[in-house]
Chain A
Amino acid sequence: MRRRVFLVAGIVLVLLVVTVALVSLFWTPFPAADTTGGRLEGPGAHHLLGTDKLGRDLLTRLMIGARIAMAVGAGAVALGALLGGLAGLLAAFANRWLDDTLAALLDILIAFPTLLLAMLVVAARGASLGSAIVAIGLAMAAIVARLTRVLAKRVLAMDYVTAARTSGLSWPRIVTAHVLPNIWPTLVVNLALQFGLAVLAEASLSYLGLGPPPPNASWGRLLQEAQSTVLTAPVGAIAPGVLLVVLVVGVNLLADGLRDVADPTRRRHR
């Protein structure tokens, strides 16, 4: 029952950010590039949360940041889960030789600095939100693939899979009926963790100029921009920080809840 509360809380928090992101597509208090405000104004009637050092409305920037956070998180997780999931399953089913090759490849990819990967992607596609998503998603895919491989192998070694095979169930059906449902509870929690990490990774990419170009700044970038003025204008640093926490906590609660829904063996205890 307490778990249900977590699930609902997670949904509420995530929906909050999603709503803000959607609203920002149609309406923001000021145009994104508007610099008519005073520099580093405090919260007030005109600029609800104040302005940054270029005179841009903070609320406007935060709303656009929500869009970027959601796009990066969801995009990178979708890419990472799809590519990583497929590669992991392939490795789990592969013969020894292919499995060893894939495992070695994944270890290299995981050891490969995400930053270097991001620079390669940016070199190939130019700096943009899409590039950031691709770079973070690829790095994530390697981690997801390794996890999927181990989890799927464990399921494939189970007697119920052997039993399913003795009764003539085909491999694709075994994957959809047994493998995916059994690896999902663990995978979904890991993906939620990766979602949070992706949002933070985008912040560092932006900081290095490898993220989406201005004036569309992510929360991470806002945080970093506000660093130097945190004593004079604390709202500029606190607001994006709070929103990041809300989103990351929300996604993790949501994933915990989803895991419990997917795994009946967990429902009784706890």
Chain B
Amino acid sequence: MSLLSVSGLAVSTHDGRALVSGLSFAVPRGGRLSLIGESGSGKSLTALAVTGLLPPGLAATGTVLLDGTPVIGATDRTLDRVRGRVAAVVFQEPSTALDPLMRLGKQIAEPLRRHRGLRGAALRSAVLEALDEVALPARVARAYPHEVSGGQRQRAAIAMALACRPALLIADEPTTALDVTVQADVLALLDRLVAAHDMALLFVSHDLAVVAKVTDEVVVLSGGRPVQSGPLRTVLANPGDDYTRSLVASARRLDAALDLGGVS
């Protein structure tokens, strides 16, 4: 059975406007899938809906099974047991993904304490290990988010998400807010860690070039609906609809312009 299976997912506002509809996909244990689509196509809402974290005022229908647990309609109590252990999220905007008033070490310690039951010296060394894993120096533990760079913040956010040792990592445009060189580093790190821990990955992006670096399977969203899905190669080779075609064309143009040798 798939680790995450979504069928007929729809997200709508209370006054009945559909923001996402008719979405189905599955991520097997250790598998990887990307949601790709333009800004406003419903990627973030999908990522939130599969963990039952939609903002107030939005509701999901359809079926989402996270490690066999139905997410839609489940209580927070039920979901608290699934979240963290099964799925953790890395967000788009590193400046809001971390509590500005809490030292980074403390923020990373929190999930470690809860999920691995670590205390005292063991907890401290686990925090340092977690920082080391995402290639951050130990002194970052004592820093506040505004005292480190955007790339370092995103690494800290990844460390927090991984601290729970989730079976599925959901990364919502984790590199969009970063500049290009940092982007490549963070992406490579994510790729390496997901592989090292045998995690599954649900990756969200609007950028084909970025998606190509981390996943094989894609679902293309446009205006809240899936317009194409399947292996990235197939989608690239025969973009079945206008939107995907334009996406592929713009990625090609960018590729040509940057002449990024050996990227994809």
A181 to chain B, nearest CB (A): 5
Judge whether A181 and B53 touch: CB under 8 Å: no
- Which candidate, B18-26, B76-84, B203-211, is the interface stretch facing chain A? B76-84
Measuring CB to CB, which residues of chain B are less than 8 angstroms from any residue of chain A? Answer: 14, 48, 51, 53, 55-57, 76, 80-81, 83-85, 87-89, 91-93, 96-102, 107, 110-111, 114-115, 144, 146-147, 157, 160-161, 163-164, 170
- The reply to whether A162 and B91 contact each other, CB–CB distance below 8 Å, is yes
> A167: which B residues are within 8 A, CB to CB?
83-84, 88, 110-111, 114-115, 160-161, 163-164
Contact B93 A182 (CB under 8 A): no
Nearest chain A CB to B36 CB, angstrom units: 21
Given A159-B93, A177-B110, A262-B87 contact (CB < 8 Å) = no
Q: Which residues of A does B touch, CB under 8 Å?
A: 95-96, 157-160, 162-171, 177-178, 181-182, 185, 262-265
Are the C-beta atoms of B97 and A157 separated by less than 8 Å?
no
State the CA gap A171–B87 with chains docked (Å). 18
Q: Contact between B97 and A96 (Cβ–Cβ < 8 Å)?
A: no
Q: Is the CB of A163 within 8 A of B110?
A: no
Q: Say yes or no: B80 contacts A170, CB within 8 Å.
A: yes
Please measure, in the bound complex, the distance between the C-alpha atom of A265 and the C-alpha atom of B148, giving whole angstroms.
12
Contacts of B170 in A (CB 8 A): 166
Report yes or no: B83 in contact with A165, Cβ–Cβ below 8 A: yes
Cross-chain contact A168 with B80 (CB below 8 angstroms):
yes
Query: How far is it, in angstroms, between the C-alpha of A264 and the C-alpha of B144 when the chains are bound?
Result: 7
Contact of A165 among B14, B53, B99, B114 (CB under 8 A): B53
Taking a contact as CB atoms closer than 8 A, the residue among A158, A160, A177, A265 that contacts B144 in the complex is A265
8 A/B residue pairs, CB under 8 Å, sorted by A: A162-B53, A163-B88, A167-B84, A167-B114, A167-B163, A168-B164, A182-B101, A262-B101
The smallest C-beta distance from B137 to any residue of chain A, in angstroms, reads 19
| Bound: A262/B100 CA distance, A | 11
Contact across chains for B89 and A162 when beta carbons are under 8 A apart = yes
User: Inside 8 A of B114's CB, which chain A residues have their CB?
Assistant: 167-169
Neighbour of B55 across the interface among A157, A171, A178, A265, CB < 8 A: A157
Residues of A within 8 A of B55 (CB): 157
A151–chain B nearest beta-carbon distance, Å: 13
Q: Please give, as numbers and ranges, the residues of chain A lying within 8 Å of B157 by CB-CB distance.
A: 163
Q: Which 9 A-B pairs have the closest CB atoms?
A: A168-B84, A167-B84, A159-B91, A159-B97, A167-B111, A159-B96, A264-B144, A168-B80, A168-B83
Residue of B nearest to A157 (CB): B55
Q: How far is it, in angstroms, between the C-alpha of A96 and the C-alpha of B102 when the chains are bound? A: 30
Bound-state CA distance A265–B145 (Å) is: 9
Known: A166-B161, A264-B147. 9 other contacts (CB 8 A): A159-B91, A160-B97, A162-B89, A165-B53, A166-B84, A166-B89, A166-B170, A168-B81, A264-B146
Taking the closest CB of chain A, its distance from the CB of B113, in whole angstroms, is 10
Q: A102 CB to closest chain B CB, in angstroms?
A: 14
Q: Which residues of chain B have C-beta atoms less than 8 A from A166's C-beta?
A: 51, 53, 83-84, 87-89, 161, 170
Q: Which residues of B contact A169 (CB under 8 A)?
A: 110, 114
B99 touches A160 (CB 8 A): yes
Q: By CB atoms of chain B within 10 A, which of A166, A168, A170 has the most? A: A166
- The chain A residue with its CB closest to the CB of B98 is A160
Contact A163 B101, beta carbon cutoff 8 Å: no
Q: Within the assembled complex, what's the spacing in Å between the Cα atoms of A185 and B100?
A: 12
Assembly CA distance A264 to B147 (angstroms): 9
> A171 — which chain B residues lie within 8 A by C-beta?
76
User: Which residues of the partner chain B approach A265 to less than 8 Å between Cβ atoms?
Assistant: 100-101, 144, 146
In the assembled complex, the CB of B101 is this many whole angstroms from the nearest CB of chain A, namely 5
A169→B114 CA distance, assembly (Å): 8
Expressed in whole angstroms, the minimum distance between the Cβ of A243 and any Cβ of chain B is: 35
Nearest CB on A from B79, distance (A) = 8
CB distance from B216 to the nearest CB of A (A): 25
What is the bound-complex CA distance between A170 and B114, given in angstroms? 11
Nearest CB in chain B: distance from A78 CB, A? 24
User: Known: A181-B102, A182-B99. Is A162-B83 also a contact (CB below 8 A)?
Assistant: no
* A157, A163, A178: most-surrounded residue (chain B CB, <10 A): A163
Contacts A168-B83, A264-B144; A163 near B89 (Cβ below 8 A)? yes
**Could you say which residues of chain B place their CB within 8 Å of the CB of A264?**
100-101, 144, 146-147
Measured in the bound complex, the distance between the Cα atoms of B100 and A182 in whole Å is 8
Provide the residues of chain A in CB contact with B88, threshold 8 Å: 163, 166-167
Query: Complex formed: what's the CA distance from A169 to B164 in Å?
Result: 11
Query: Are A163 and B97 in contact (CB-based, < 8 A)?
Result: yes
In the complex, A162→B55 CA distance in Å? 9
Write the chain A residue with the least CB distance to B55.
Answer: A157
CB closest residue in chain B, given A93: B56
**CA–CA, A222 and B164, complex, Å:** 63
Give the CA-CA distance A171 to B75 in the complex, in Å.
13
A157: chain B residues within 8 A (beta carbon): 55
